[in-house]
Structure 1
């Protein structure tokens, strides 16, 4: 079951890179970012490169791989500048358009190549997991994306969808299709994807033939898809929800017409997927997603209220909402977003599209999630990008398969070897070193590679080649100094940390002395609200150089108190309080020598608390 030649995927990869350089607008800028230190893993400061509306930076993860991260400027600034309360110095580089294209294309390429490596590693991990399930005799408990929505309660006599499909596809028989899939799974053989001595690198887009796990997962998704259609399965009540609220009106007549039209369009999409049932086409997940949306629309039309699938993925971040002061604001914000989409898409003259319904689904999920978190007193699930109905589930109706034990053992052994080999290779080609390969040095090293290490071209483009291995430029603070003094700089801006900016605004309308006394003492601060991410400290020292040693000594005593309290609590909290007390002592000591690292964090802030023009509001100099 090998896929079509990978030439097309490679062509698409380079098409993305070409497009990114072709659309580089005149007003797009490349900026070097220096983010000052805070406690925790950010105690050494950080650097990044902002290209247009995206930020590229390097981070070391627990998998011992140095990741290149690409995220939106909004997300980056919200995380570092607002939640982590860190000042950002933005140095806009003065570059020719051709050099901007070269640098942007280079970082895009590095990011996409690494993402492909991670995708390969994910499939290799899945190979291991599937054979482990086979060996344990529990293959039908292996979780599959996208199949966790369908209820086993069926109403065959009222199967409207299957009749529509049969009116378009002669002799459509889902039972026959399921039998074919069972046979394909039974005959599926494990084939090695990687040779033992095969090497990979960070500059080549690496593709393989179909992974066993990729094909197996697709076949199971198709089986569940046909089974749901055959048995008229609906959405599970626990994996979907209706929006019954005094703040959300029932579906209007005009909205009903639009939902009905989209439902008919999805029927055609389902028929299209079934008609394109080639073995090499991996459409199982897409087919399940379309069916989930279709069933959501049918449930909405039947009840008169909007009905949506729970689209939060299993790896969603959990936020402890009771540490937030603005839970009501967050709830209002998500409700406003849903109503905004509803008015925009359902009151217009244009037909409702599946993309727009996905927007509605995502907004409804975020509103419903906050409602449930408050009602059931549990953390709020959050996901940084738009959610899709990928809920994992098990194929309980799938027949058991017989694979000889020796074949299973050998396949499991080979899958484990290949995964370990690929992981080790990635750790070698994406290494981390505190001095020679860190978040700062990799930016300069990558730029050098884009210009083939030619110093003359680098100097002509940027002003001067910065070599972190031959200077202190591997240190984020010094790298910022080096960039300002050696690169062509068009302009520089300072984005004050969240707390410092609010204090500056307060001083314009309030007595500066009162602001100083109130806001630097954490128990009386109107800006800072203690949260579980921070260790105990009484006084802020980021603005007060003169009083810093005294404030630092006070904070050290506070940290010592937390450490001592944490000793008897260690049995109940696994030493968490003790560890935070130690951290409090550690970050208080530099303050006694006029050096500040800790600034507190603001994970209780929501986007409703920000400037309406965030993240591109007018920056304010710190002087």
Structure 2
């Protein structure tokens, strides 16, 4: 009975996790640390010379580091009371949002400067000047392209929605007529135009306010709202590259699916009406996405095929499938997983009684991923990364309606921004400047644990860790084990180590080790062009590490020399990889392993062992 009681007490204790991620080439080459509360992971990243707190979903974090980056993760479960956990979680959550607000405020000030500079250039130049990409209008690209505002080449694409847009937007116009009267859209449009023309220039006093509604954001919101209203007034179709369709007959809509879409379409119509009278500042962006979804749903109903918005970012990471021919098996598995995920979501259109916003987003995401993999089989290119939860296809800031500000007003406002931005940047530099020894991913975790628990850290966690001593990630993990109330530790093997362990159970170990020790004969690793060139793996062979490291060092030198020759034609990419490879190889001569190889197309088929 005593054993059962002790077992129950241990099992029911609250815990949080300290994660130590082993080193590898690339980011966090000296290792990394993180804290996990339930499904949320907090960790400090090096960004532009600053140490910035990031928050991720635990499954995404582990897949990124353990599979894609091929790093083993060491986990320590730390026992704590619920009150202690609440204190810690609230502290890191509050710091994340406070820091995020500071960085967004600095970016807003920079955007104000960019907009003011653009407006000044407009006033001085006889020819239109392109605005900085940071000033794009989100979601406006679903209905407008640069060719609508300037004499430039129109985009290419097969998204033809004139009939669908005319039909469904006419329905919405009739509903607005009945609810608000005949002049509603015209009045809304004129009000927005006047608001843009009368938008005041920013001042230094306003810019210092933490909750300041920035000049550039205010202008963007007003202009996006005006463009959304114009879509309704003109019954504009989608741009020709805004949507995609699954033409295979197996994705034809039957009566049940059509009924589900019709019901969802009624929901979208109500949402659009509500957004047109909404007080939220970004109502225009939300309305553009809603109108775009209304149109593709109508297009689906008219054609009987599944039509959906293209949710890939224009700057999505496009790869050549030929470049990764040795990863054909991994790519095939990824393609099959995309198809399976799409089929599962497609089934919900049959089984679900009501299609809602969340389930529609899942349909949109999985349809895009499946369509991209299918298209890659003939196009030999693939947008591997770059999907967005919201299909906010952006538009470059058009040469259209601008605030009615004199040149003198613009100059004064610009000077104010140029004085304010360095002050805000200096605050961030003082608070978050990265330092290898005193402010890194490990020190900031311990410093903030001590801040959250004040003088009760030792009482609540069993000990207190000095951040100035435990600044090396693997030392930090040892400190956690020695000072905190650690109830359990786990080792989550990297992608390659999991595969090796699985192979060792079914093969002759010396032969398997010899085959997998080098990149030439290895079957569990195909050279990833994102990695610097190397010959031997040294993470699982301590005795041979200096010898293998010598060959890797020579390989790094060779790639660097090749990079010098190719410098004029590849902008130093090969030289950079060679130098990085050399730096990763030199520690191996002293029995220290850093590089482990990475897997661009890793999948989680082995399981979370």
SS at match of 1:451: helix
**For residues 194 and 430 of structure 1, do their structure 2 counterparts lie closer, same or farther at Cα, with a shift above 3 Å needed?**
farther
1:458 aligns with 2:444: no
SS at match of 1:540: coil
Pairwise mapping of residues 15-94 of structure 1 onto structure 2 (< 5 A)? 29-62=15-48, 64-94=49-79
**For residues 593 and 357 of structure 1, do their structure 2 counterparts lie closer, same or farther at Cα, with a shift above 3 Å needed?**
same
Aligned to 2:429: 427
1:148 aligns with 2:141: yes
Q: Give, in whole Å, the separation in 2 of the partners of 1:401 and 1:281.
A: 18
1:161 aligns with 2:164: no
Q: Give, in whole Å, the separation in 1 of the partners of 2:314 and 2:430.
A: 30
1:184 aligns with 2:177: no
1:363 aligns with 2:374: no
Offset of residue 56 of structure 1: 0.9
Offset of residue 302 of structure 1: 1.5
Pairwise mapping of residues 225-374 of structure 1 onto structure 2 (< 5 A)? 225-245=228-248, 248-276=250-278, 281-314=281-314, 316-318=316-318, 321=321, 322-323=323-324, 324-325=327-328, 326-344=330-348, 346-374=349-377
Pairwise mapping of residues 408-557 of structure 1 onto structure 2 (< 5 A)? 408-452=410-454, 454=455, 457-469=456-468, 471=469, 473-557=470-554
**For residues 26 and 296 of structure 1, do their structure 2 counterparts lie closer, same or farther at Cα, with a shift above 3 Å needed?**
farther
Q: Which runs of 5+ in 2 are unaligned?
A: 1-10, 123-127, 149-160
Q: Is the 8 A contact 1:313 1:387 kept in 2?
A: no
- 358-367 or 575-584, larger mean C-alpha shift: 575-584
Q: Is the 8 A contact 1:193 1:209 kept in 2?
A: no
**For residues 176 and 599 of structure 1, do their structure 2 counterparts lie closer, same or farther at Cα, with a shift above 3 Å needed?**
same
**For residues 492 and 116 of structure 1, do their structure 2 counterparts lie closer, same or farther at Cα, with a shift above 3 Å needed?**
same
Q: Is the 8 A contact 1:320 1:379 kept in 2?
A: yes
- 255-264 or 160-169, larger mean C-alpha shift: 160-169
Q: Give, in whole Å, the separation in 2 of the partners of 1:154 and 1:398.
A: 24
Offset of residue 381 of structure 1: 4.4
Deviations 1:15-38 (A, max 9, x none): xxxxxxxxxx96763111111111
1:175 aligns with 2:179: no
Q: Give, in whole Å, the separation in 2 of the partners of 1:409 and 1:397.
A: 20
**For residues 27 and 177 of structure 1, do their structure 2 counterparts lie closer, same or farther at Cα, with a shift above 3 Å needed?**
farther
Q: Give, in whole Å, the separation in 2 of the partners of 1:217 and 1:38.
A: 42
CA RMSD of aligned residues (A): 2.5
1:212 aligns with 2:215: yes
Deviations 1:98-149 (A, max 9, x none): 1111111111111111122223233222212222221222589652111111
Aligned to 1:14: none
**For residues 420 and 292 of structure 1, do their structure 2 counterparts lie closer, same or farther at Cα, with a shift above 3 Å needed?**
farther
Q: Give, in whole Å, the separation in 1 of the partners of 2:224 and 2:129.
A: 14
Q: Give, in whole Å, the separation in 1 of the partners of 2:265 and 2:238.
A: 15
Q: Give, in whole Å, the separation in 1 of the partners of 2:273 and 2:183.
A: 10
**For residues 519 and 28 of structure 1, do their structure 2 counterparts lie closer, same or farther at Cα, with a shift above 3 Å needed?**
farther
Q: Give, in whole Å, the separation in 2 of the partners of 1:185 and 1:90.
A: 54
Q: Give, in whole Å, the separation in 2 of the partners of 1:579 and 1:410.
A: 43
Deviations 1:355-414 (A, max 9, x none): 221211111122223344454344524247x52021111575944654211112222222
Q: How many residues align?
A: 569
Q: Is the 8 A contact 2:43 2:55 kept in 1?
A: yes
Q: 1:136 aligns with which of 99, 103, 121?
A: 121
Offset of residue 575 of structure 1: 2.3
Aligned to 2:408: 406
Q: Give, in whole Å, the separation in 2 of the partners of 1:44 and 1:408.
A: 47
Q: Give, in whole Å, the separation in 1 of the partners of 2:508 and 2:71.
A: 25
Q: Give, in whole Å, the separation in 1 of the partners of 2:189 and 2:136.
A: 19
Aligned to 2:155: none
TM-score w.r.t. structure 1 length? 0.86
Q: Give, in whole Å, the separation in 1 of the partners of 2:137 and 2:509.
A: 59
TM-score w.r.t. structure 2 length? 0.88
Q: Is the 8 A contact 2:532 2:577 kept in 1?
A: yes
Q: Is the 8 A contact 1:26 1:97 kept in 2?
A: no
Q: Give, in whole Å, the separation in 2 of the partners of 1:239 and 1:361.
A: 13
Offset of residue 447 of structure 1: 0.6
